[in-house]
Amino acid sequence: MNRAPLKRSRILHMALNGAPDPSGEAEAGSGEKPFLLRALQIALVVSLYWVTSISMVFLNKYLLDSPSLRLDAPIFVTFYQCLVTTLLCKGLSTLATCCPGAVDFPTLRLDLRVARSVLPLSVVFIGMITFNNLCLKYVGVAFYNVGRSLTTVFNVLLSYVLLKQTTSLYALLTCSIIIGGFWLGVDQEEAEGTLSLVGTVFGVLASLCVSLNAIYTKKVLPAVDGSIWRLTFYNNVNACALFLPLLLLLGEHQALLDFAQLDSAHFWGMMTLGGLFGFAIGYVTGLQIKFTSPLTHNVSGTAKACAQTVLAVLYFEETKSFLWWTSNAMVLGGSSAYTWVRGWEMKSQEDPGPREGEKSTVGV
């Protein structure tokens, strides 16, 4: 019996749902290093991921909604970050070509046919990063994770609608916890008078785009020879081209002309740093998965979100109610439970079928 189509479908489903790849974990386990060295490497990589991710969120909040900066141009901020990523990819590619062995990076040449093939994903990619930044502009950093917490729910819905794959009852229960936490968080933000309906809608749209991005990434990867860095390059090139007419249509070019700090070295330094963080987060995410596993990466991301929320409340000197904290706990707990359930289910699929007399799990 040919198992290749089943395996490809399973890999696509794991990418959409964030479940661990058992074969990848098996490879990670080969060639064991001394425990202390491996523990130190993992600690450094996880710390690097946390610092990069949290710093990027706080820096973007400053660029998008700082009272001292007063720049109302979220599309331009996103465009500039894509431009920085494009230039970094091209620079590293040139360095790898000129100095072989100095850096491991694929050769990048702009091919219009490939750019057209990647375009559907680029549209989703633009929606993802734009709605993320718009959500962050209108909501506080403390509420940011709850505002974008429905990604897992959309993963389940799209798995059924697009991949025709069912989800277990346990996974659906974890999704219900996430939805409950989201609604409780919205209710508490409204009770405290800090709810931004526009920001919340942008957060929901960002969650949808994150899920769609996972699907289209798998479909488009063959067009770039399976290289994530080539895909990153073409995504950001397309994004830069598509953002330019958006800047004109939304009138942000006028906001830039009226911006008092347009000639400020500090402003451009912060903008460039934001672009560097945007480029770095893709690298450190892959690094964390490489040194741990997709399951551990998801758990680390959940813990990072918790730390980020606490830091935001402390930094902005906010006071939150018990129910507000409960909503965050429900979202983070439901996300962690979903990750564990999906990991357990994927491992169970690798095991032999149930023995005679044993009951099989019923999918919903």
Q: Residue range 286-304: average pLDDT?
A: 82
Collapsed DSSP state (helix, strand, coil) of residue 210: helix
Q: How far apart are CA 363 and CA 323, in angstroms?
A: 33
pLDDT surpassing 70 at residue 218: yes
Per-residue model confidence (pLDDT) at position 103:
80
pLDDT surpassing 90 at residue 209: yes
pLDDT surpassing 80 at residue 359: no
Q: What pTM was computed for the model?
A: 0.82
The 10s digit of each residue's pLDDT in 35-62 is 888 889 889 999 999 999 999 999 999 9
Answer whether 184's CB lies under 8 Å from 334's CB.
no
110 φ/ψ sector (left φ>0, alpha ψ -120 to 50, else beta): beta
DSSP state of 195: -
Per-residue model confidence (pLDDT) at position 83:
96
List all residues 6 or more positions away from 275 whose beta carbon is below 8 Å from its beta carbon: 80, 81, 82, 83, 84, 85, 88
Which stretch, 253-267, 278-292, 348-362, has highest mean pLDDT? 253-267
SS3 content of the chain, % helix, strand, coil (to 5): 75, 0, 25
Q: Residue range 311-319: average pLDDT?
A: 93
Q: How far apart are CA 305 and CA 54, in angstroms?
A: 8
Return the residue matching tokens 């709810």: 195
What's the mean per-residue pLDDT of the chain? 85
Output the DSSP codes for 283-349: HHHHHHHHHS-HHHHHHHHHHHHHHHHHHHHHHTT----HHHHHHHHHHHHHHHHHHHHHHHHHHHH
List all residues 6 or more positions away from 212 whose beta carbon is below 8 Å from its beta carbon: 124, 127, 128, 158
Per-residue model confidence (pLDDT) at position 322:
96
Return the residue matching tokens 């895909």: 231
Q: How far apart are CA 58 and CA 356, in angstroms?
A: 56
> Residue 347: what are its φ and ψ, rounded to 5°?
-70, -35
Q: pLDDT band for position 310 (50/70/90)?
A: very high
Answer whether 46's CB lies under 8 Å from 300's CB.
yes
Answer whether 185's CB lies under 8 Å from 328's CB.
yes
Task: Give the Å distances, CA to CA, from 185 to 41, 132, 204, 347.
Answer: 36, 18, 13, 33
Torsion over CA of 311, 317, 319 and 325, rounded to 10 degrees? -10
Break the chain into its structural domains and give their ranges. Answer: 74-257+265-348
Q: Residue range 155-183: average pLDDT?
A: 90
Torsion over CA of 310, 316, 317 and 320, rounded to 10 degrees? -50
pLDDT surpassing 60 at residue 364: no
**Residue 257 CB neighbour total at 10 angstroms:** 8
Paired residues of 363 in beta bridges: 168
Q: Beta strands of the chain (E only): which ranges?
A: none
Q: pLDDT band for position 294 (50/70/90)?
A: confident
The 10s digit of each residue's pLDDT in 87-140 is 999 999 999 988 887 788 888 999 999 999 999 999 999 999 999 999 999 999
